[in-house]
Copies of this chain bind each other. A is one copy, B any other.
Amino acid sequence: MQKPSIPKGTRDFTPYQISRRNYIFNSIKSKFEKFGFSPIETPSMEKLTTLNGKYGTEGDQLLFKVLKRGAKFEKVLLNSNTNTLKSNDFSDEALRYDLTVPFARYIVQHQNDISFPFKRYQIQPVWRADRPQKGRYREFYQCDADIVGTKSLICEIELISLISEILNEFKLTNHSIMINNRKILSALIDLCHSEAYFSKITVIIDKIDKIGVDKVVAELKENIPNSECWKLFEELFSITGSENILEWLNKKLTNSEVGQKGIEELIYIVDHSKKMGIKNLKINISLARGLDYYTGSIFEVILNDSSMGSIVGGGRYDDLTKMFGQNDLSGVGISFGAERIFDLMNDLNLFPDGLDHSPKYMIIDQSGDSINGLKLLNYLRDREVSTILYPDEHKIKKQLKYAHLNNISFVVFINQEFHSKMQIELKDMKTGVQEQHEISNLN
């Protein structure tokens, strides 16, 4: 028989890994709550109509669709021939691809029970049929916090403060929070009369940190049939220093209402964040973010001197719930890449000590009557001390090895005199010292 295995891109987690993953999830969760966000959860499966078309053509192909069952499945085959059948004919539901679209669906569905502005967080797995590679999985967790129902820029400042507090808690202090504004990008692209290529341009300039200025300009030359475009961005990329860049933008976008609004928002957020003590915030005009629904501020966080890519991302969206028929609900959110943070903290050895919850005591019962071991077990557990009892009458050496492998702190030996004298032998597994003790000394 073949040894069993799991689907490509998925993972089993051992107790050791889970205690570290939970450290990350619990830390994020408690900061989210301190900042006033409340948890919601949505089903793993959404209706295909909810997800289809929300992530572009590429995203649609990466959905894990659920096969129809029974009569519904048979009906598909009955009424068709194999030439015309499409994958969507076989499915009504799919696993969620992110937490944002289900959140938009949740807001519209439950709008009458929500008091806006709604601060929600959600920590759940998502599924994508991407080609698996280092750091990229087919089932992975997202940790999202969003504020919906207000246009106030105070929300952006709060989210920046939240990012900073969480990453510092993880000792990932060497990070940069990059910020830009989609309104500025939009105005620049209008300025060079390339509105038709908005998505293409943003995808290209977004790669500047990976491939450098020269290659970005070359790609713009190659893909955008408008010399104004690459000339404008080449000029922009030649300027260094936030002050100089803002001055240049102000000059170029004097006549653009949208552009002026974008600059104003950016300056407001950066100024206030600095006054709040945020040190790692950096304006980055080439930051674009792939997703189409962003309309204002956009964020991305990288670890300096790391090739890991972004570990947090987010931005403001003015029309997210429009896809489900509800207008005028502006929101802003961030998403922590918990899997990448987990990999980074592992590589950098940043997890604190004491995350593993091994039992403190293991009882080795040599009294000849198993009720003695069971009663001592009860006694210790009643005092909320995590304890185990080795269940078999194996050789002491084997039992001690088991205690060692399970990181037990102390082994408690009980023998035939246990009952009359209420005494035990206590072996410290670290020092190896073994001494006689009263039961009442155990705690």
Contacts of A38 in B (CB 8 A): 15, 357
A268 to B: closest C-beta gap in Å: 9
A392, CB-defined interface residue at 8 Å: yes
Q: Which of A94-136 contact B (CB under 8 A)?
A: 95, 105-106, 108-110, 113, 115, 117, 119-120, 125, 127, 129
**Interface residue stretch chosen among A66-74, A247-255, A286-294, A433-441:** A66-74
* B residues near A378, Cβ cutoff 8 Å: 161, 276-277
Q: How far is the CB of A85 from chain B (nearest CB, A)?
A: 6
Comparing A181-189, A341-349, A367-375, the segment that makes contact with chain B is A367-375
* CB contact under 8 A between A381 and B4, given known A43-B139, A78-B82, A82-B77: no
Inter-chain contact A106/B12, CB cutoff 8 Å:
yes
Q: Would you call B387 and A36 a contact (CB within 8 A)? A: yes
Residue ID in chain B nearest A62 by CB atoms = B69
Binds B, one of A151-159, A296-304, A306-314, A415-423: A151-159
Q: Is A65 an interface residue (CB 8 A)?
A: yes
Cβ of A389 within 8 Å of any chain B Cβ, yes or no, is yes
Chain B residue with Cβ nearest A373 = B154
**CB-contact partner of A14 in B7, B73, B113, B386, under 8 A:** B113
Q: Which residue of B lies closest to A155 (CB)?
A: B391
* Pairwise interchain contact A67-B82, C-beta atoms closer than 8 A: no
Q: Does A35 contact B (CB under 8 A)?
A: yes
Name the B residues within 8 Å of A113 (CB-CB). 14
Cα–Cα distance between A375 and B161 once the two chains are bound (Å): 11
Q: How far is the CB of A277 from chain B (nearest CB, A)?
A: 7
Interface presence of A10 (CB below 8 A): yes
Could you tell me which A residues sit within 8 Å of B by CB distance? 1-7, 10-15, 18-19, 33-36, 38-47, 50, 61, 64-67, 69-70, 73, 77-78, 80-83, 85, 87, 90-93, 95, 105-106, 108-110, 113, 115, 117, 119-120, 125, 127, 129, 139, 147, 150, 152, 154-155, 157-158, 161, 165, 272, 275-277, 324-325, 357, 359, 370-371, 373-375, 377-378, 381, 384-389, 391-392, 402, 405-406
Nearest 3 Cβ contacts at the A-B interface: A10-B43, A152-B391, A1-B325
